[in-house]
Structure 1
Amino acid sequence: MDEEDECLEPGPGTSAGRVVGVEEHAWTPELRDALLRFGGDDTVNLMSSRGDINRALLDVGEERLARMDAAGVAMEVLSVTTPGTQPLPAVEAAPLAREANDFLADAVRRHPDRFAAFATLPTPDATAAADELRRAVTELGHVSAMLFPRTGDVFLDDDRFRPIFEAAAELRVPLYIHPALPPRQLRTIAYGGFDQWTSMILGTGGWGWHAEAGLATLRLILSGTFDRHPDLQVVLGHWGEMLVPFADRADLLSGAARHLERRVLDYITGNVHVTAGGVFSHRMLRQAVDVLGADRVMFGQDDPYGRTTGTAGEDSRGRFSGSNGARIFVQTAPLSPEDRTKLAHANAERLFRLPTA
């Protein structure tokens, strides 16, 4: 046994060793079929809808619990995987979102000590999306909602989506902004020109969709969303979706956006939280803590997509890929014991008002 393993805190079900995963995905067969029928995006066609990933997304029972136990995760906050219902016609999106939210609520009812849930919202009809957010939070007990950067070609800061942010502010729940594929024309121009899989990864997890989520959040800042709703909080995965690491440079916009009440940097540090989103990198964690402080970082495994591996060079032994990988990542993080507890579960419990062990 390694010296590091000997000093690990107690197991995942205990308060001391508790780890909460905040970016953990699922979906329903009906939503999968609709996305394939209406043309969701290439992440659906080439990855999510196939084989083991599809089976893992559909399962919110014993197999998922076994994966969590193996990784050392005590609780997952479930969310419908990208792109949610956002690419669908409004008439299809609304009932499918309700059905998916009911599905997640049922999983939480069956395992209230292991699961919580984000709502998925039918943004093609923003009024219906706001109503569904209210229903999901007040009737189903969902702790928040997950949004994706665009509906069609339109970013979240467009005026048509204001009812969603008004509802979130009214309910006092944060919104998780998860990446999704850039529009096809942009992918062709910016990320094409390679073999299919290379272009796919360049446009998604290797670069493109992180830029989409960071840009969507920056546009929310510039459009005055947080001036209208100063207490509204948003959550970004992957240690800040390029926006948090680039926060000091993004503050250059403060000189141009004189309509804002605060500097751009102040919105980033005052209205944004981050999760690991399956990126097991202590180096990126340190940077997020440096920018935002230890009260705004949370763990996330990106189940079932995430592979608990460290950054090359940082972790050549692959210590996060085996048994208890999530817990080992947290408990070996370069933080004080108090801040490790915040990363592991305390920040998520506070922000999302989760039950504690």
Structure 2
Amino acid sequence: MNIIGLEEHFVTREVVDAWRALDPEWQDLALTPSTQGDSARRLADFGEERLAAMARAGVDVQVLSLSTPGVQNLAPAEAVALQTAANDTLAEVTRARPGSFQGLATLATPRPAAAAAELERAVTTLGLDGAMVFGRTRDRNMDEPEFWPIYEAADALRAPLHLHPQSPPPAVRGAYYSGYGARVDAALATHGIGWHHDSGVQVLRLILSGVFDRFPDLQVIVGHWGEMVLFYLDRIDSLTEVAGLRRPVSDYFRTNIHLAPSGILSRRYLRWATELVGVDRILFSTDYPFVSTPPGGARDFLTQAPLGDADRLKIASGNWDRLRAAIRRG
């Protein structure tokens, strides 16, 4: 069973320097774990430590992506320069170890036309397999029409976009995730629940804005078992008529959204996801290096899951292989 992880991160020194130089208003809470301690060291490594961690967890291939929040909070010119550099670096890494690494491009969303052009270069010239995006570019949500050239390009290329969490805006953090001390506030606003509420809202905004009606072949990957939304779809479907959508909100999760666990290796969530969207819409991921996967944890989760062998293989790698095969590279 070949196991491919879809949400496995890296950083470059140049991007870290750019994050540190940002005005504090635009610095993501992920700056600390991405630039300090063991996680920072692991993010910057493409060699033996990463390969050993993969082997220990039972992951055969990592699909690498630049960690939160990519270059989306940077000034436009800097974002464009760093998207090119990051993607060139990623292409070199994947070419050096094609049996171990694949890649999702970084996009300079502060300049959408340049991001769309870079997505085309990434998949047709560099051999990357789509892109990692985040729900906001500074204070602008990614469903706003100025960003639609990115979705148009992804739709035309059949290149999947992975929508990843980022920290809630400062005003939201102050209103909902503060009052317990800096350490608890940061945890509550990020991995505790804030990341997932924020990203789930961004998924719904994409659907409600009509992005998938306009670009029906667009495929978006959402981690953490659907970022909260999956567990409330029956209620969320009440938005369908109000928003004037062509189909129920839940339908888009069965035609345009793929789900991944992001290291939350829960059989309960797996059962719920397969019931709601079907096995063909589920991918695998460990969220390296931010989630500690126990020895053999990835392989054990899949081998012990209450699935038939064919479905097990789909989640392990088959569904991702199918998405990759559909990309238009020429």
TM-score (norm: length of structure 1): 0.88
Note if contact 1:174-1:234 (Cα within 8 Å) is conserved in structure 2. Answer: yes
- 1:206-254 Cα shifts (integer Å, max 9, x gaps): 1111111111111111111111111111110001111122222110101
Asked if 1 retains the 8 angstrom alpha-carbon contact of 2:254 and 2:277, the reply is yes
Say if 1:20 and 1:74, in contact at 8 Å, map to a contact too.
yes
CA distance in 1: counterparts of 2:306 and 2:178, whole angstroms: 38
Q: In angstroms, what is the RMSD of aligned CA positions?
A: 1.2
For residues 31 and 63 of structure 2, the distance between their equivalents in structure 1, rounded to whole angstroms, comes to 25
Aligned pairs for 1:210-225 (under 5 A) are 210-225=196-211
Q: Does 1:134 align with 2:120?
A: yes
Alignment of 1:191-340 (within 5 A): 191-258=177-244, 260-308=245-293, 321=294, 323-340=295-312
1:285 positional shift: 1.1
Secondary structure, counterpart of 2:63 in structure 1: strand
- Aligned residue type for 2:15: L
Paired residue type of 1:19: I
CA deviation string 1:249-280 (max 9, x = no partner): 1101012122x221212112211100111111
TM-superposed deviation, 1:307: 1.6
Q: Give the corresponding residue for 2:97.
A: 111
Aligned to 1:341: 313
In structure 2, how many angstroms separate the alpha carbons of the residues matched to 1:329 and 1:200?
29
Aligned to 2:9: 25
In structure 2, distance between residues paired with 1:276 and 1:332: 15
Calculate percent identity across the aligned residue pairs: 47
Write the distance in 2 (CA, Å) between the matches of 1:256 and 1:57.
Answer: 43
Tell me if structure 2 keeps the 8 A contact 1:118–1:143: yes
Provide the C-alpha distance between the structure 2 equivalents of 1:85 and 1:264, rounded to a whole number of angstroms: 30
> Aligned residue for 1:34?
18
Does the Cα contact within 8 Å between 1:143 and 1:353 map onto a contact in 2?
no
- Note if contact 2:107-2:131 (Cα within 8 Å) is conserved in structure 1: yes
- Counting matched residue pairs gives 324
Greater percentage in helix: 2
| Counterparts of 2:325 and 2:51, CA distance in 1 | 21
Instruction: Please report how far the alpha carbon of residue 339 of structure 1 lies from its aligned counterpart in structure 2 after TM superposition.
Output: 1.1
Q: Deviations over 1:168-190 (max 9, x none)?
A: 01111111100000111110111
Matching of residues 143-222 of structure 1 within 5 Å: 143-222=129-208
Q: Quick one: which amino acid aligns to residue 335 of structure 1? A: L
Do the aligned residues in 1 keep the contact of 2:30 with 2:167 (CA within 8 Å)?
Answer: no
Q: How far 1:154 sits from its partner (Å)?
A: 1.2
**Counterpart Cα distance in 1 of 2:83 and 2:90:** 11
The alpha-carbon deviation at position 161 of structure 1 amounts to 0.2
**Which residue in 2 is equivalent to 1:10?**
none
Unaligned runs of 5+ in 1: 1-16, 309-320
Give the unaligned 5+ runs of structure 2. none
- Residue type of the partner of 1:286? R
AA matched with 1:250: I
TM-score, normalised by the number of residues in structure 2: 0.95
* SS of aligned partner of 1:21: strand
Cα deviation, 1:295-327, whole Å, max 9, x if unaligned, reads 01111010111122xxxxxxxxxxxx2x21111
Write the distance in 1 (CA, Å) between the matches of 2:324 and 2:36. 32
How many angstroms apart in 2 are the aligned matches of 1:161 and 1:88?
A: 16
Deviation at 1:104, TM superposition (A): 0.8
